[in-house]
Chains A and B, each alone.
Chain A
Amino acid sequence: MILFLEGVLRGLGVGSVYALLALGFVIIYKATRVISFAQPALMLAGVVLVSHLAGPLGFWVALPLAALLTALLGLGIERGAVRPMVGRPAFVVAIITLGVDVAIRVVVNIFIGLDVRTVHDPWGLRSWQLGALRVEQRHVAAFLATAVLVAALFAFFRFTRMGLAMRAAADDQEAALAQGISVGAVFALSWALAGALAAVGGTFATAGASFDGTLWLTALVALPVIILGGLDSLPGAVLGGLGVGVAQELVATYQNHAPWLGGNVSVITPYVLMLLVLLVRPYGLFGTREVERV
């Protein structure tokens, strides 16, 4: 039981990271109808920035600053590679972001170099003892940060003019344009938000550990997460992220009961979970079923 509960708590911590990354994907998808395969590169860029800035400035200054810079990078990608493609098929734009991802990651890898780096987070591997349960501080921090960011995002979409504009553009771009909403600004802001979320998510993903160029694979876990939750559902992204995190940690905890699956089977758990859910619900758990019109 203790083992199970600890697995769940760890899963919530890990899942928070996936939720943040998945939110970035969903925000871009809702605004532009495109899946950004550049998210792993944005995440890696954010983490590398934190690791370089945290030394001289301290973690708490470095994290927002890195988030801001990554948001600017997201803006740049939107301007340079995505905006010229407005009106082209969604998958073509998705492949463009794949190209952006490959190119940016090479540049970012130069700043990682051959050694592993750390983000100098204040938690490390310290943990609290709650009765019989051992809870790692970094997982609590990730969960709290996600809760705060998600609350802020939902408030932003609910109560601000720009949030309203984004919801309108997500609903129907042409109608939003006709009402005087700058859809271009919505596109730009969605990429910036996704960049900032990726930076924060990536930083928590590597908290308490060190990272190298392979960290970008973590961001790809957000893809099954958004498919599970439904491409266009913000709550789906959060719940999907937490769910996938918990499932992954539980599989990691109990995988020694099924040695024939091979070691590290938890790495592919999200993808298997995604396939199983899609067999039953092709639009994810919370996604909108597409209306088909000829």
Chain B
Amino acid sequence: MTVLRGRPLLFTSYPQEMGLFPTTTRKVAFGVLLAVTAVLPFLLADAELQLLATCCIAAIGAIGLGLVTGYAGQVSLGHAFFLGIGAYTASVISGDPDGRTLGLGVTNILVWLPAAGLVAGLAGVVVAPLATRLRGLYLAIVTLGLVFIGQHIFNEWSTVTGGVGVGRPAPTLELFGYPLGTTTASATRDQKLYWVMAGLLVLFALAARNLARSKVGRAFTAIRDRDIAAGVIGVNLARYKTIAFAVSSFYAGCAGALLFTVSGFIDPSSFSLLLSVQYIAMVLIGGAGTISGAIAGAFFITLLPRLIRELQTFLPFISTDANEVPNVLQVESILYGVLIIVFLIFEPRGLFGLWVRARNYWKSWPFSY
């Protein structure tokens, strides 16, 4: 038996296959990754840490969309709407009671973060009756409608959102009086932000992975693969589709609440169709139906502008001036589109699929099949 040990995808029992970390290799890899994540702030500059913190938050949102679209197969273009609800719930709860916009003054992250998730999750449940009646492309268009209706509300309800072009401050990062979002003697603001966001990402990712391997997760995959067949074998379609939307919206709400704590400022125009498309791109480029894929996709898409800016030093014909053609912004948006097309045509499993390919190559080396 010792010969068989440590091979990926080799399982000798069902509990092992269903385990959170099925193989020793995965346990070790996760531990190493966790250790690297924890010590990274001592190696990197603050600007990079800030970017990585944003990546972690985006990954939380992408995991949420991955649950509903990748696992349960319900295409949602409305992720921006739920992100928005989360962001505004959190900032209303944590906002200054005497400020220009509505605020309750409860700045503890343990209060506003779950609240943001719950309110967004509730919105998901409200939308779900429509969503469970519709399939495929009908659903995609209806969720697209949510984004436009949401944008109208966010733009007009200025006592909560501050109004177009003005906006309002993001929620305060604070835990029982200890500031998580300001520089103190022990650590800089960006180091703290990074640790908080990375920690939250690990929590959310493990929770999602756990959900995916549970009864609920198996119901999701059954619905994705063939919803009528799933219904026939006794999966309660309305119930599990509602759960999928609620959980996905909860993740979106939490991500939305955190998303603007890095920049410190929320503008209503942020929650546009473009944001939804970016999240779709994260899930698809990373690899639909896997948690690690959603995380990889989120990091990739969030780092893309930075990568292009680095690329710009090698490709001088790309201008940084927004008035010239071709400039960095144009290259960036074209790349979103082109990457979606290229990945879906050539590697439908996304970045995760690339990893599987690479692993299989070395596993079977020197034989190619």
Contacts and interface: CB of A to CB of B under 8 A. Distances in A.
A239 B25 CA distance: 61
A224 interface: yes
B348 interface: yes
B330 A99 contact: no
A106 B334 CA distance: 6
A274 B337 contact: no
Contact of B136 (A90, A96, A114, A278): A90
Interface string B229-258: 100100000000000000000000000000
Contact of B140 (A91, A262, A272, A278): A91
Contacts of A161: none
B156 interface: yes
A95 B344 contact: yes
Given A92-B348, A114-B323, A264-B152, A99 B338 contact: yes
Contacts of B345: 81, 84-85, 96
Q: How many B residues are at the interface, by size bracket?
A: 35 or more
Interface in B259-298: 273, 277, 280-281, 284
A101 B141 contact: no
A81 to B, nearest CB: 5
A294 B228 contact: yes
A275 B137 contact: no
A59 interface: no
Interface in A246-283: 261-265, 267-268, 271-272, 274-275, 278-279, 282-283
A78 B345 CA distance: 13
A107 B334 contact: yes
A294 B233 CA distance: 11
B161 to A, nearest CB: 11
Contacts of A85: 344-345
A224 B140 contact: no
A262 B155 contact: yes
A84 B149 CA distance: 35
Contacts, number: 125
A103 B141 CA distance: 20
A102 B336 contact: yes
Contact of B344 (A99, A227, A263): A99
Contact of A95 (B138, B284, B330): B284
B142 interface: yes
Interface string B188-201: 00000000000000
A275 B145 contact: yes
A207 B75 CA distance: 35
A102 B333 contact: yes
Interface in B211-231: 226, 228-229
Interface in B54-96: 75
B344 A96 contact: yes
A220 interface: yes
B228 to A, nearest CB: 5
A63 interface: no
Nearest to B278: A102
A91 B341 contact: no
Contacts of A72: none
B299 to A, nearest CB: 19
A100 B341 contact: yes
Contacts of A130: none
B136 A224 contact: no
A91 B280 contact: no
A104 B330 CA distance: 11
A231 B138 contact: yes
A104 B338 CA distance: 10
A122 to B, nearest CB: 32
Contact of B145 (A96, A274, A282, A283): A274
Interface in B322-366: 323, 325-326, 330, 333-334, 336-341, 344-345, 348
Contacts of A107: 334
13 contacts: A81-B341, A91-B136, A98-B280, A99-B341, A101-B337, A106-B330, A106-B337, A262-B155, A262-B156, A267-B152, A278-B133, A278-B138, A294-B226
The 7 closest A-B pairs by CB, nearest first: A262-B156, A103-B337, A99-B340, A102-B337, A271-B145, A99-B337, A99-B341
Given A262-B156, A271-B148, A282-B134, 17 more contacts: A92-B348, A94-B140, A95-B75, A95-B340, A96-B344, A96-B345, A98-B340, A102-B334, A106-B337, A220-B148, A227-B142, A231-B138, A264-B152, A275-B149, A278-B133, A278-B134, A294-B226
